[in-house]
Chain A
Amino acid sequence: MTVDDIQQILINEIQTLLALKPGSVTAETALPTLGIDSLKFVSLVLAIEKQCNVHLMKKGLKPADMATALAMATAIHARQAE
Protein backbone atom coordinates (compact mmCIF):
# COMPACT_ATOMS: atom_id res chain seq x y z
CA MET A 1 0.00 0.00 0.00
CA THR A 2 1.51 3.33 -1.06
CA VAL A 3 1.35 6.69 0.69
CA ASP A 4 -1.10 7.84 -2.00
CA ASP A 5 -3.40 4.89 -1.32
CA ILE A 6 -3.39 5.57 2.42
CA GLN A 7 -3.93 9.27 1.80
CA GLN A 8 -7.00 8.54 -0.33
CA ILE A 9 -8.42 6.21 2.34
CA LEU A 10 -7.83 8.90 4.95
CA ILE A 11 -9.51 11.60 2.90
CA ASN A 12 -12.53 9.39 2.19
CA GLU A 13 -12.88 8.42 5.85
CA ILE A 14 -12.58 12.03 7.08
CA GLN A 15 -15.20 13.20 4.59
CA THR A 16 -17.57 10.40 5.60
CA LEU A 17 -16.99 10.94 9.31
CA LEU A 18 -17.56 14.68 9.17
CA ALA A 19 -20.33 14.47 6.54
CA LEU A 20 -18.33 16.69 4.18
CA LYS A 21 -18.81 16.89 0.43
CA PRO A 22 -16.38 14.86 -1.73
CA GLY A 23 -13.39 17.01 -2.63
CA SER A 24 -13.66 19.25 0.42
CA VAL A 25 -10.63 17.60 2.05
CA THR A 26 -7.34 17.53 0.16
CA ALA A 27 -3.87 16.24 0.94
CA GLU A 28 -2.89 19.66 2.24
CA THR A 29 -6.02 20.48 4.30
CA ALA A 30 -5.01 21.35 7.87
CA LEU A 31 -6.70 18.55 9.86
CA PRO A 32 -6.82 20.44 13.20
CA THR A 33 -9.10 23.04 11.57
CA LEU A 34 -11.74 20.45 10.70
CA GLY A 35 -12.99 20.09 14.28
CA ILE A 36 -12.38 16.36 14.73
CA ASP A 37 -13.20 15.60 18.36
CA SER A 38 -11.84 12.69 20.47
CA LEU A 39 -14.56 10.25 19.46
CA LYS A 40 -14.43 11.04 15.78
CA PHE A 41 -10.65 10.81 15.84
CA VAL A 42 -10.78 7.36 17.42
CA SER A 43 -13.35 6.29 14.84
CA LEU A 44 -10.98 7.52 12.13
CA VAL A 45 -8.03 5.67 13.64
CA LEU A 46 -10.07 2.47 13.94
CA ALA A 47 -11.16 2.71 10.31
CA ILE A 48 -7.56 3.25 9.21
CA GLU A 49 -6.32 0.36 11.36
CA LYS A 50 -8.85 -1.93 9.72
CA GLN A 51 -8.15 -0.86 6.15
CA CYS A 52 -4.38 -0.43 6.37
CA ASN A 53 -3.67 -3.32 8.73
CA VAL A 54 -1.62 -1.25 11.19
CA HIS A 55 -1.94 -0.85 14.98
CA LEU A 56 -1.87 2.91 15.37
CA MET A 57 -3.21 2.91 18.92
CA LYS A 58 -0.27 0.85 20.09
CA LYS A 59 2.37 2.51 17.92
CA GLY A 60 1.04 6.04 18.36
CA LEU A 61 1.39 9.17 16.28
CA LYS A 62 3.13 12.48 16.86
CA PRO A 63 1.20 15.78 16.81
CA ALA A 64 3.10 16.76 13.63
CA ASP A 65 1.83 13.59 11.96
CA MET A 66 -1.71 14.91 12.19
CA ALA A 67 -1.09 18.26 10.51
CA THR A 68 -2.43 17.20 7.09
CA ALA A 69 -3.75 14.06 5.38
CA LEU A 70 -0.43 13.78 3.57
CA ALA A 71 1.58 13.95 6.82
CA MET A 72 -0.70 11.39 8.45
CA ALA A 73 -0.54 9.06 5.45
CA THR A 74 3.26 9.27 5.46
CA ALA A 75 3.37 8.45 9.19
CA ILE A 76 0.98 5.52 8.79
CA HIS A 77 3.06 4.20 5.89
CA ALA A 78 6.15 4.35 8.11
CA ARG A 79 4.32 2.50 10.93
CA GLN A 80 3.31 -0.21 8.47
CA ALA A 81 6.93 -0.80 7.65
CA GLU A 82 7.97 -1.11 11.33
Chain B
Amino acid sequence: MRFSLPYRRGRRYLSGIDWSMAGLHYHARQTSHTGSYSLVVMELNGLPDAAVFRDALNQISARLPMVHGWTKRDFRNLAPYWHIPKSPGRANIPLTIVDASDDATADRLLSDHVNATNRPDREHLNFLLVRIADGTSRIGVVFDHRMLDAIGAETFLRLIDLTVSGQLEEYASKVKQEEPPHLDVWEKQFAGGKTVFRRMKMIGQRDVCAMAMPPAGRFGRVHFAHEHLTTAETTHFLETASEECGGMPIVLPSAAARAVYAMRAAVPNPPLPGTQHTLFTTASMRTNDQQWEQLFFNHFSFLLLTVGTEVPQSLPDLATATRDSFFDQMKEQIPQSLADAAALSRVSPRWLNQRFNYSMFKGRVCSLYFACLRDGGYKTDTFLGVPIANLYHKPLAFGPPGLNLCMTTFGGRFNLVLSYLEGVMNDTTAATLMRTFKAALLRQDVERHDAKNAK
Protein backbone atom coordinates (compact mmCIF):
# COMPACT_ATOMS: atom_id res chain seq x y z
CA MET B 1 0.00 0.00 0.00
CA ARG B 2 2.41 2.68 -1.22
CA PHE B 3 0.64 5.71 -2.57
CA SER B 4 1.33 9.26 -1.59
CA LEU B 5 -1.21 12.05 -1.24
CA PRO B 6 -0.17 15.44 -2.60
CA TYR B 7 1.22 18.00 -0.19
CA ARG B 8 2.92 21.36 -0.33
CA ARG B 9 6.68 21.35 0.14
CA GLY B 10 8.05 23.77 2.72
CA ARG B 11 5.12 23.35 5.10
CA ARG B 12 5.50 22.09 8.63
CA TYR B 13 2.88 19.35 8.78
CA LEU B 14 1.98 18.19 12.27
CA SER B 15 2.80 14.69 13.48
CA GLY B 16 0.17 12.47 15.05
CA ILE B 17 1.54 13.28 18.50
CA ASP B 18 1.41 17.03 17.73
CA TRP B 19 -2.25 16.58 16.77
CA SER B 20 -2.91 14.63 19.99
CA MET B 21 -1.48 17.58 21.92
CA ALA B 22 -3.79 19.87 19.95
CA GLY B 23 -6.66 17.62 21.07
CA LEU B 24 -5.51 17.89 24.67
CA HIS B 25 -5.39 21.67 24.26
CA TYR B 26 -8.97 21.66 23.01
CA HIS B 27 -10.07 19.54 25.97
CA ALA B 28 -8.30 21.81 28.48
CA ARG B 29 -9.90 24.86 26.88
CA GLN B 30 -13.33 23.29 27.24
CA THR B 31 -12.94 22.11 30.82
CA SER B 32 -10.74 24.69 32.55
CA HIS B 33 -10.33 27.59 30.09
CA THR B 34 -6.58 27.03 30.18
CA GLY B 35 -4.95 24.90 27.48
CA SER B 36 -2.14 22.42 27.03
CA TYR B 37 0.35 24.72 28.72
CA SER B 38 3.28 24.01 30.96
CA LEU B 39 5.62 26.20 32.97
CA VAL B 40 9.38 25.96 33.05
CA VAL B 41 10.92 27.77 36.00
CA MET B 42 14.49 29.00 36.15
CA GLU B 43 15.76 30.09 39.57
CA LEU B 44 18.60 32.60 39.29
CA ASN B 45 21.16 33.74 41.87
CA GLY B 46 20.90 37.31 40.65
CA LEU B 47 18.91 39.52 38.34
CA PRO B 48 19.22 39.45 34.54
CA ASP B 49 19.12 42.70 32.57
CA ALA B 50 15.44 43.03 31.59
CA ALA B 51 16.15 45.26 28.57
CA VAL B 52 18.66 42.77 27.16
CA PHE B 53 16.19 39.95 27.84
CA ARG B 54 13.36 41.74 26.03
CA ASP B 55 15.59 42.62 23.09
CA ALA B 56 16.64 38.97 22.71
CA LEU B 57 12.97 37.89 22.66
CA ASN B 58 12.21 40.50 19.99
CA GLN B 59 15.11 39.29 17.84
CA ILE B 60 13.92 35.67 18.08
CA SER B 61 10.36 36.72 17.38
CA ALA B 62 11.48 38.41 14.16
CA ARG B 63 13.88 35.64 13.08
CA LEU B 64 11.55 32.73 13.85
CA PRO B 65 7.96 33.85 13.09
CA MET B 66 7.03 30.21 13.69
CA VAL B 67 6.50 31.19 17.34
CA HIS B 68 3.44 33.18 16.23
CA GLY B 69 1.98 30.41 14.06
CA TRP B 70 -1.23 28.44 14.36
CA THR B 71 -2.76 25.18 13.16
CA LYS B 72 -4.54 24.97 9.81
CA ARG B 73 -5.71 22.09 7.68
CA ASP B 74 -4.50 21.36 4.16
CA PHE B 75 -7.70 20.55 2.29
CA ARG B 76 -5.86 18.64 -0.44
CA ASN B 77 -4.86 15.85 1.94
CA LEU B 78 -6.72 16.75 5.18
CA ALA B 79 -3.45 16.84 7.13
CA PRO B 80 -3.08 19.58 9.75
CA TYR B 81 -0.07 21.88 9.49
CA TRP B 82 1.48 24.78 11.36
CA HIS B 83 0.80 28.00 9.51
CA ILE B 84 3.84 30.27 9.82
CA PRO B 85 3.10 33.96 9.29
CA LYS B 86 5.46 35.55 6.74
CA SER B 87 6.24 38.33 9.18
CA PRO B 88 5.34 38.53 12.87
CA GLY B 89 4.13 42.13 12.32
CA ARG B 90 3.93 43.85 15.65
CA ALA B 91 3.51 40.62 17.57
CA ASN B 92 6.10 40.03 20.24
CA ILE B 93 6.68 37.37 22.84
CA PRO B 94 5.24 38.79 26.07
CA LEU B 95 7.60 39.47 28.98
CA THR B 96 6.14 40.78 32.24
CA ILE B 97 8.29 41.94 35.13
CA VAL B 98 6.95 41.77 38.68
CA ASP B 99 8.42 42.12 42.18
CA ALA B 100 8.05 39.67 45.07
CA SER B 101 8.97 40.06 48.73
CA ASP B 102 10.03 36.42 49.18
CA ASP B 103 10.21 32.96 47.58
CA ALA B 104 6.66 32.01 48.60
CA THR B 105 5.23 35.08 46.86
CA ALA B 106 7.34 34.32 43.78
CA ASP B 107 5.94 30.77 43.75
CA ARG B 108 2.39 32.10 43.95
CA LEU B 109 2.99 34.55 41.10
CA LEU B 110 4.43 31.78 38.91
CA SER B 111 1.51 29.51 39.74
CA ASP B 112 -0.92 32.31 38.76
CA HIS B 113 1.07 32.79 35.56
CA VAL B 114 0.54 29.23 34.31
CA ASN B 115 -3.03 29.03 35.63
CA ALA B 116 -4.12 32.09 33.64
CA THR B 117 -7.32 31.37 31.77
CA ASN B 118 -8.50 32.48 28.33
CA ARG B 119 -4.98 33.03 27.02
CA PRO B 120 -5.05 34.09 23.32
CA ASP B 121 -5.09 30.93 21.21
CA ARG B 122 -2.16 32.14 19.10
CA GLU B 123 0.03 32.94 22.11
CA HIS B 124 2.44 30.05 22.54
CA LEU B 125 5.06 31.59 24.83
CA ASN B 126 4.71 33.99 27.75
CA PHE B 127 7.58 35.05 30.03
CA LEU B 128 7.40 36.27 33.60
CA LEU B 129 10.45 37.70 35.37
CA VAL B 130 9.98 37.78 39.14
CA ARG B 131 12.45 40.02 40.99
CA ILE B 132 12.73 38.86 44.59
CA ALA B 133 13.66 41.28 47.38
CA ASP B 134 16.77 39.29 48.38
CA GLY B 135 18.39 39.99 44.99
CA THR B 136 17.56 36.65 43.39
CA SER B 137 15.01 36.18 40.63
CA ARG B 138 12.88 33.58 38.87
CA ILE B 139 11.90 33.30 35.26
CA GLY B 140 8.68 31.49 34.47
CA VAL B 141 8.02 30.54 30.86
CA VAL B 142 4.55 29.36 29.97
CA PHE B 143 4.85 27.31 26.80
CA ASP B 144 2.25 25.74 24.58
CA HIS B 145 2.62 21.98 24.11
CA ARG B 146 1.23 22.33 20.61
CA MET B 147 4.50 24.03 19.66
CA LEU B 148 7.15 22.91 22.16
CA ASP B 149 7.84 19.90 24.34
CA ALA B 150 9.70 20.13 27.66
CA ILE B 151 13.16 19.70 26.15
CA GLY B 152 12.26 22.16 23.38
CA ALA B 153 11.21 24.76 25.97
CA GLU B 154 14.58 24.44 27.72
CA THR B 155 16.34 24.69 24.37
CA PHE B 156 14.36 27.86 23.62
CA LEU B 157 15.73 29.37 26.85
CA ARG B 158 19.21 28.47 25.65
CA LEU B 159 18.46 30.21 22.35
CA ILE B 160 17.76 33.43 24.28
CA ASP B 161 21.15 33.16 25.95
CA LEU B 162 22.86 32.52 22.61
CA THR B 163 20.99 35.44 21.03
CA VAL B 164 22.44 37.80 23.62
CA SER B 165 25.92 36.54 22.74
CA GLY B 166 25.25 37.26 19.04
CA GLN B 167 24.74 33.66 17.91
CA LEU B 168 21.05 33.76 16.97
CA GLU B 169 21.61 33.29 13.23
CA GLU B 170 24.02 30.40 13.72
CA TYR B 171 21.49 28.40 15.77
CA ALA B 172 18.19 29.63 14.30
CA SER B 173 19.36 28.53 10.85
CA LYS B 174 19.54 24.95 12.15
CA VAL B 175 15.92 24.93 13.33
CA LYS B 176 13.80 22.70 11.13
CA GLN B 177 10.76 24.59 9.90
CA GLU B 178 9.32 22.10 7.46
CA GLU B 179 8.15 18.51 7.69
CA PRO B 180 6.25 16.44 5.10
CA PRO B 181 2.95 14.89 6.24
CA HIS B 182 4.25 11.32 5.68
CA LEU B 183 1.06 10.39 3.87
CA ASP B 184 2.74 7.47 2.13
CA VAL B 185 3.56 4.94 4.85
CA TRP B 186 0.03 3.64 5.30
CA GLU B 187 1.02 0.04 5.97
CA LYS B 188 3.27 1.08 8.85
CA GLN B 189 0.60 3.37 10.27
CA PHE B 190 -2.16 0.75 10.09
CA ALA B 191 0.16 -1.88 11.61
CA GLY B 192 0.90 0.58 14.42
CA GLY B 193 -2.82 1.10 14.91
CA LYS B 194 -3.37 -2.64 15.14
CA THR B 195 -0.61 -3.05 17.75
CA VAL B 196 -1.91 -0.15 19.84
CA PHE B 197 -5.52 -1.30 19.61
CA ARG B 198 -4.54 -4.81 20.77
CA ARG B 199 -2.60 -3.41 23.72
CA MET B 200 -5.35 -0.95 24.69
CA LYS B 201 -7.91 -3.74 24.56
CA MET B 202 -5.72 -5.81 26.88
CA ILE B 203 -5.25 -2.90 29.31
CA GLY B 204 -8.93 -2.01 29.12
CA GLN B 205 -9.94 -5.40 30.53
CA ARG B 206 -9.32 -4.05 34.01
CA ASP B 207 -10.70 -0.81 35.42
CA VAL B 208 -8.26 1.99 36.19
CA CYS B 209 -7.79 2.87 39.85
CA ALA B 210 -7.86 6.67 39.95
CA MET B 211 -8.81 9.52 42.26
CA ALA B 212 -12.38 10.74 42.07
CA MET B 213 -12.76 13.83 39.93
CA PRO B 214 -14.54 16.95 41.24
CA PRO B 215 -18.27 16.62 40.62
CA ALA B 216 -18.60 19.78 38.57
CA GLY B 217 -18.08 19.53 34.82
CA ARG B 218 -15.50 22.30 34.86
CA PHE B 219 -12.21 22.12 36.70
CA GLY B 220 -10.50 24.67 38.93
CA ARG B 221 -6.89 25.77 39.08
CA VAL B 222 -3.85 23.53 39.34
CA HIS B 223 -1.70 23.46 42.47
CA PHE B 224 1.92 22.34 42.68
CA ALA B 225 4.21 20.63 45.20
CA HIS B 226 7.96 20.69 44.55
CA GLU B 227 10.83 18.66 46.00
CA HIS B 228 14.29 17.90 44.75
CA LEU B 229 17.04 15.35 45.27
CA THR B 230 20.64 16.29 45.88
CA THR B 231 23.30 15.18 43.41
CA ALA B 232 24.34 12.36 45.76
CA GLU B 233 20.71 11.25 46.23
CA THR B 234 20.16 11.31 42.47
CA THR B 235 23.24 9.14 41.92
CA HIS B 236 22.04 6.70 44.60
CA PHE B 237 18.65 6.42 42.94
CA LEU B 238 20.15 5.92 39.48
CA GLU B 239 22.28 3.08 40.88
CA THR B 240 19.26 1.49 42.56
CA ALA B 241 17.19 1.78 39.38
CA SER B 242 19.97 0.18 37.37
CA GLU B 243 20.18 -2.74 39.83
CA GLU B 244 16.42 -3.24 39.57
CA CYS B 245 16.75 -3.51 35.78
CA GLY B 246 19.45 -6.16 35.70
CA GLY B 247 22.36 -3.71 35.78
CA MET B 248 21.17 -1.81 32.73
CA PRO B 249 21.07 2.01 32.79
CA ILE B 250 17.26 2.18 32.81
CA VAL B 251 15.42 4.55 35.15
CA LEU B 252 11.83 4.90 33.99
CA PRO B 253 10.29 1.69 35.45
CA SER B 254 11.88 2.16 38.88
CA ALA B 255 10.80 5.80 39.04
CA ALA B 256 7.27 4.86 37.92
CA ALA B 257 7.11 2.12 40.59
CA ARG B 258 7.86 4.71 43.25
CA ALA B 259 5.13 6.98 41.88
CA VAL B 260 2.64 4.13 42.33
CA TYR B 261 4.04 3.42 45.79
CA ALA B 262 3.61 7.07 46.83
CA MET B 263 0.11 7.29 45.40
CA ARG B 264 -1.01 4.18 47.25
CA ALA B 265 0.45 5.46 50.50
CA ALA B 266 -1.07 8.92 50.16
CA VAL B 267 -4.53 7.57 49.34
CA PRO B 268 -5.10 4.90 51.96
CA ASN B 269 -8.59 3.85 50.79
CA PRO B 270 -8.21 0.28 49.54
CA PRO B 271 -8.64 0.04 45.76
CA LEU B 272 -11.45 -2.04 44.31
CA PRO B 273 -10.36 -5.65 43.69
CA GLY B 274 -9.35 -6.41 40.12
CA THR B 275 -8.40 -2.83 39.26
CA GLN B 276 -5.00 -1.53 38.16
CA HIS B 277 -2.83 1.54 38.45
CA THR B 278 -1.96 2.94 35.03
CA LEU B 279 0.68 5.54 34.36
CA PHE B 280 0.55 7.49 31.14
CA THR B 281 4.19 8.28 30.60
CA THR B 282 6.25 9.90 27.88
CA ALA B 283 8.92 8.14 25.81
CA SER B 284 11.49 10.33 24.10
CA MET B 285 11.71 9.96 20.31
CA ARG B 286 14.46 12.57 19.97
CA THR B 287 17.52 11.93 17.87
CA ASN B 288 20.91 12.65 19.43
CA ASP B 289 22.75 15.69 18.11
CA GLN B 290 19.54 17.17 16.66
CA GLN B 291 18.70 19.46 19.56
CA TRP B 292 18.36 22.53 17.33
CA GLU B 293 16.71 20.79 14.39
CA GLN B 294 14.10 19.43 16.82
CA LEU B 295 13.60 22.66 18.80
CA PHE B 296 9.92 23.01 17.92
CA PHE B 297 7.02 20.58 18.27
CA ASN B 298 6.77 17.27 20.08
CA HIS B 299 9.42 14.60 19.82
CA PHE B 300 8.06 11.97 22.14
CA SER B 301 5.48 9.24 22.28
CA PHE B 302 3.73 7.45 25.12
CA LEU B 303 3.75 4.28 27.17
CA LEU B 304 0.89 3.17 29.40
CA LEU B 305 2.53 1.29 32.27
CA THR B 306 0.23 -0.86 34.37
CA VAL B 307 0.49 -2.37 37.85
CA GLY B 308 -2.32 -4.49 39.27
CA THR B 309 -3.66 -3.30 42.61
CA GLU B 310 -3.12 -6.83 43.97
CA VAL B 311 0.68 -6.36 43.71
CA PRO B 312 1.92 -5.96 47.33
CA GLN B 313 2.85 -2.49 48.56
CA SER B 314 6.60 -3.11 48.62
CA LEU B 315 9.16 -1.40 46.45
CA PRO B 316 10.79 -4.60 45.08
CA ASP B 317 7.38 -6.03 44.07
CA LEU B 318 6.20 -2.79 42.49
CA ALA B 319 9.54 -2.29 40.73
CA THR B 320 9.37 -5.79 39.24
CA ALA B 321 5.76 -5.35 38.08
CA THR B 322 6.49 -1.95 36.51
CA ARG B 323 9.68 -3.19 34.87
CA ASP B 324 7.83 -6.14 33.32
CA SER B 325 5.10 -3.85 32.01
CA PHE B 326 7.77 -1.52 30.57
CA PHE B 327 9.72 -4.32 28.87
CA ASP B 328 6.52 -5.87 27.47
CA GLN B 329 5.49 -2.61 25.86
CA MET B 330 8.97 -1.90 24.55
CA LYS B 331 9.07 -5.38 23.00
CA GLU B 332 5.82 -4.54 21.22
CA GLN B 333 7.33 -1.18 20.18
CA ILE B 334 4.35 0.64 21.64
CA PRO B 335 5.90 4.15 21.50
CA GLN B 336 6.65 3.90 17.77
CA SER B 337 3.35 2.13 17.06
CA LEU B 338 1.45 4.81 18.94
CA ALA B 339 3.22 7.57 17.01
CA ASP B 340 2.36 5.78 13.75
CA ALA B 341 -1.24 5.17 14.76
CA ALA B 342 -1.69 8.77 15.93
CA ALA B 343 -0.68 9.92 12.44
CA LEU B 344 -3.86 8.31 11.10
CA SER B 345 -5.97 10.23 13.61
CA ARG B 346 -4.93 13.55 12.07
CA VAL B 347 -7.81 13.28 9.64
CA SER B 348 -10.35 13.74 12.43
CA PRO B 349 -11.11 17.09 14.08
CA ARG B 350 -9.59 17.82 17.50
CA TRP B 351 -12.88 17.51 19.36
CA LEU B 352 -13.55 14.06 17.92
CA ASN B 353 -10.01 12.92 18.64
CA GLN B 354 -10.27 14.08 22.18
CA ARG B 355 -13.67 12.46 22.70
CA PHE B 356 -12.22 9.17 21.46
CA ASN B 357 -9.14 9.44 23.69
CA TYR B 358 -11.20 10.20 26.76
CA SER B 359 -13.69 7.46 26.10
CA MET B 360 -10.93 4.88 26.56
CA PHE B 361 -11.11 2.97 29.81
CA LYS B 362 -14.56 4.36 30.55
CA GLY B 363 -13.23 7.90 30.77
CA ARG B 364 -10.62 6.99 33.37
CA VAL B 365 -7.61 7.47 31.15
CA CYS B 366 -4.97 6.69 33.77
CA SER B 367 -4.16 6.92 37.48
CA LEU B 368 -1.71 9.72 36.80
CA TYR B 369 0.41 11.31 34.10
CA PHE B 370 4.06 10.65 34.74
CA ALA B 371 7.28 11.88 33.16
CA CYS B 372 10.89 11.11 33.99
CA LEU B 373 13.44 13.04 31.95
CA ARG B 374 17.10 12.33 32.58
CA ASP B 375 18.25 14.72 29.91
CA GLY B 376 17.57 18.43 29.58
CA GLY B 377 17.81 21.05 26.87
CA TYR B 378 19.67 23.63 28.99
CA LYS B 379 23.16 22.39 29.75
CA THR B 380 25.06 25.47 30.90
CA ASP B 381 24.93 26.97 34.37
CA THR B 382 24.28 30.66 33.60
CA PHE B 383 21.47 32.61 31.93
CA LEU B 384 22.28 36.07 30.54
CA GLY B 385 25.43 35.94 32.68
CA VAL B 386 23.55 35.15 35.92
CA PRO B 387 24.24 31.83 37.71
CA ILE B 388 21.31 29.38 37.60
CA ALA B 389 20.35 27.82 40.95
CA ASN B 390 17.77 25.41 39.53
CA LEU B 391 15.56 24.67 36.53
CA TYR B 392 12.36 22.60 36.67
CA HIS B 393 8.94 22.14 35.11
CA LYS B 394 5.44 22.71 36.45
CA PRO B 395 3.02 21.19 33.94
CA LEU B 396 -0.73 21.70 34.19
CA ALA B 397 -2.62 18.59 35.29
CA PHE B 398 -5.50 17.68 33.02
CA GLY B 399 -8.60 15.89 34.15
CA PRO B 400 -9.11 13.02 34.30
CA PRO B 401 -7.16 12.09 36.34
CA GLY B 402 -6.05 15.60 37.36
CA LEU B 403 -2.65 14.42 38.59
CA ASN B 404 0.76 14.80 37.00
CA LEU B 405 4.06 13.75 38.53
CA CYS B 406 7.07 15.09 36.70
CA MET B 407 10.77 14.31 37.25
CA THR B 408 13.27 16.47 35.39
CA THR B 409 17.02 16.85 35.71
CA PHE B 410 19.17 19.91 36.10
CA GLY B 411 22.79 20.03 37.22
CA GLY B 412 22.88 16.28 37.91
CA ARG B 413 19.93 16.26 40.29
CA PHE B 414 16.29 15.35 39.97
CA ASN B 415 13.47 17.84 40.53
CA LEU B 416 10.13 16.33 41.51
CA VAL B 417 6.95 18.29 40.82
CA LEU B 418 3.43 17.13 41.58
CA SER B 419 0.64 19.02 39.80
CA TYR B 420 -2.91 18.41 41.02
CA LEU B 421 -6.27 19.81 40.11
CA GLU B 422 -8.24 21.57 42.79
CA GLY B 423 -10.71 19.09 44.25
CA VAL B 424 -8.79 15.96 43.26
CA MET B 425 -6.67 16.08 46.40
CA ASN B 426 -5.96 18.63 49.10
CA ASP B 427 -2.61 20.25 49.90
CA THR B 428 -1.98 17.93 52.87
CA THR B 429 -2.47 14.78 50.80
CA ALA B 430 -0.27 16.26 48.06
CA ALA B 431 2.48 17.00 50.58
CA THR B 432 2.24 13.43 51.93
CA LEU B 433 2.43 12.01 48.40
CA MET B 434 5.53 14.05 47.61
CA ARG B 435 7.23 13.20 50.90
CA THR B 436 6.54 9.51 50.31
CA PHE B 437 7.68 9.70 46.71
CA LYS B 438 10.99 11.29 47.67
CA ALA B 439 11.49 8.78 50.51
CA ALA B 440 10.68 5.92 48.13
CA LEU B 441 13.25 7.14 45.63
CA LEU B 442 15.83 6.81 48.39
CA ARG B 443 14.36 4.03 50.54
CA GLN B 444 15.35 1.13 48.35
CA ASP B 445 18.91 2.09 48.99
CA VAL B 446 18.28 2.13 52.73
CA GLU B 447 16.57 -1.26 52.56
CA ARG B 448 19.44 -2.71 50.57
CA HIS B 449 21.96 -1.49 53.10
CA ASP B 450 19.80 -2.81 55.96
CA ALA B 451 19.60 -6.20 54.29
CA LYS B 452 23.37 -6.28 53.81
CA ASN B 453 23.92 -5.31 57.45
CA ALA B 454 21.51 -8.02 58.61
CA LYS B 455 23.66 -10.63 56.86
Q: A residues touching B (Cβ–Cβ < 8 Å)?
A: 18-20, 32, 34-39, 41-43, 45-46, 56-63, 65-66
Contact B252–A38 (Cβ < 8 Å): yes
Q: CB within 8 A of A18: which of B247, B284, B288?
A: B288
Chain B contact surface mostly: loop
B453 within 8 A of partner (CB): no
**When chains A and B are docked, how far (Å) is the Cα of A34 from the Cα of B289?**
10
B335 within 8 A of partner (CB): yes
Query: In this complex, what residue of B is CB-closest to A50?
Result: B331
**When chains A and B are docked, how far (Å) is the Cα of A65 from the Cα of B252?**
21
A-B pairs, 8 with minimum CB distance? A60-B246, A38-B250, A42-B330, A19-B287, A61-B247, A18-B288, A38-B252, A60-B247
Chain A min CB distance to B337 (Å): 13
B374 within 8 A of partner (CB): yes
Contact B335–A39 (Cβ < 8 Å): yes
B327 within 8 A of partner (CB): yes
Question: CB-CB < 8 A to B283: which residues of A?
Answer: 39
Contact B247–A43 (Cβ < 8 Å): no
Q: Which of A35, A39, A60, A63 has the most CB of B within 10 A?
A: A39
Indicate whether A37 sits within 8 Å of B374 (C-beta atoms), given known contacts A42-B327, A42-B330.
yes
Q: How many A-B residue pairs have CB under 8 A?
A: 60
**When chains A and B are docked, how far (Å) is the Cα of A36 from the Cα of B330?**
15
Chain B min CB distance to A67 (Å): 11
Question: CB-CB < 8 A to A61: which residues of B?
Answer: 246-248
Question: CB-CB < 8 A to B248: which residues of A?
Answer: 41-42, 45, 56-57, 60-61, 66
B177 within 8 A of partner (CB): no
Contact B288–A66 (Cβ < 8 Å): no
Per the 8 Å Cβ criterion, residues 331-350 of B in contact with A are 331, 335
Q: CB within 8 A of A65: which of B247, B287, B326?
A: B247
Contact A18–B327 (Cβ < 8 Å): no
Question: CB-CB < 8 A to A56: which residues of B?
Answer: 246, 248
Q: CB within 8 A of A41: which of B249, B289, B335, B375?
A: B249
Contact A19–B288 (Cβ < 8 Å): yes
**When chains A and B are docked, how far (Å) is the Cα of A5 from the Cα of B88?**
55
Question: CB-CB < 8 A to B251: which residues of A?
Answer: 38
B242 within 8 A of partner (CB): yes
Task: Annotate B248-288 by CB proximity to A: 1 below 8 A, 0 otherwise.
Answer: 11111000000000000000000000000000000110011
Question: CB-CB < 8 A to B242: which residues of A?
Answer: 63
Task: Annotate B275-310 by CB proximity to A: 1 below 8 A, 0 otherwise.
Answer: 000000001100111100000000000000000000
**When chains A and B are docked, how far (Å) is the Cα of A56 from the Cα of B298?**
31
Chain A min CB distance to B31 (Å): 31
Indicate whether A46 sits within 8 Å of B375 (C-beta atoms), given known contacts A38-B252, A61-B246.
no
Q: Which of B287, B288, B375 has the most CB of A within 10 A?
A: B288
Question: CB-CB < 8 A to A58: which residues of B?
Answer: 246
Contact B288–A34 (Cβ < 8 Å): yes
Question: CB-CB < 8 A to B330: which residues of A?
Answer: 39, 42-43, 46
Indicate whether A35 sits within 8 Å of B246 (C-beta atoms), given known contacts A42-B330, A46-B331.
no
Chain B min CB distance to A37 (Å): 6
Query: In this complex, what residue of A is CB-closest to B288?
Result: A18
Indicate whether A35 sits within 8 Å of B288 (C-beta atoms), given known contacts A45-B248, A65-B247.
yes
Question: CB-CB < 8 A to A36: which residues of B?
Answer: 249
Chain B min CB distance to A38 (Å): 4
Query: In this complex, what residue of A is CB-closest to B331?
Result: A46
Question: CB-CB < 8 A to B287: which residues of A?
Answer: 18-19
**A38-B252, A41-B250 given. 15 additional CB < 8 A pairs?**
A18-B289, A20-B288, A20-B289, A32-B249, A35-B288, A38-B251, A38-B374, A39-B284, A39-B330, A39-B335, A42-B326, A42-B330, A46-B331, A57-B246, A63-B247
Q: Which of A36, A37, A63 has the most CB of B within 10 A?
A: A37
Question: CB-CB < 8 A to B326: which residues of A?
Answer: 42
Chain A min CB distance to B210 (Å): 25
Chain B min CB distance to A30 (Å): 13
